[in-house]
Amino acid sequence: MSNAPSSYTGGCACGAIRYEIPSEPIFQNHCQCLDCQHKSGTGHGSYLSFMRSGVKQTGSAALWDMVGDSGNVKTRAFCPACGSPVYMTYAAMPDVITVHAASLDDASRFKPQAVTYAVRGYEWDVLDQALTRFEKMPPGQ
């Protein structure tokens, strides 16, 4: 029997929003698109994507719709009290939810598989060179 946690849990900095995800991530990445750079205030964002089935959330997030580099609408969810970004959803992939790696209770569970939108990366934003790099978003993500 493994001692590994069975769910991914996390939330915002002040605790007003909490989530529990009972499944394993389907994709984990660092994204260097312009939106992630603006949102993070640095060179990239770090994310875990999951199927939405079974996700539990407490607290209400403020939502902001925007059009990503792909041309599709994504909805950013953040805490209206502390402003922490917590998760994203996508009009083109309604069964997927993406959480910010730093919103996890145990951020060491984040194991990036790739760098997306590497075409937008900055020389000063040094990421693990062993990671697969995609110029944009790989198909199906």
Q: What is the pTM of this model?
A: 0.89
- Please write the tens of the pLDDT for every residue from 5-52: 689 999 999 999 999 999 999 999 999 988 888 888 888 999 999 999
The pLDDT assigned to 4 comes to 53
CB of 134 closer than 8 Å to CB of 118 = yes
Structure tokens at 129: 């060179």
The pLDDT assigned to 30 comes to 95
- Report the 10 Å Cβ neighbour count for 15: 13
Q: Which domains does the chain have, with CATH numbers?
A: 8-122 (2.170.150.70)
- Output the CA torsion sign for 42, 30, 75, 81: negative
Q: For residue 111, is pLDDT > 90?
A: yes
The pLDDT assigned to 89 comes to 96
* 50 alpha carbon, distance to own chain's centre: 9
Mean local confidence (pLDDT), 134-139: 80
How deeply is 30 buried, as exposed, middle or buried, from its count of CB atoms within 10 A (0-12, 13-18, 19+)? Answer: buried
* 114 alpha carbon, distance to own chain's centre: 13
Q: For residue 141, is pLDDT > 70?
A: no
In the block, tokens 């605790």 appear at: 15
CB of 50 closer than 8 Å to CB of 121 = no
The pLDDT assigned to 2 comes to 43
How deeply is 126 buried, as exposed, middle or buried, from its count of CB atoms within 10 A (0-12, 13-18, 19+)? Answer: exposed
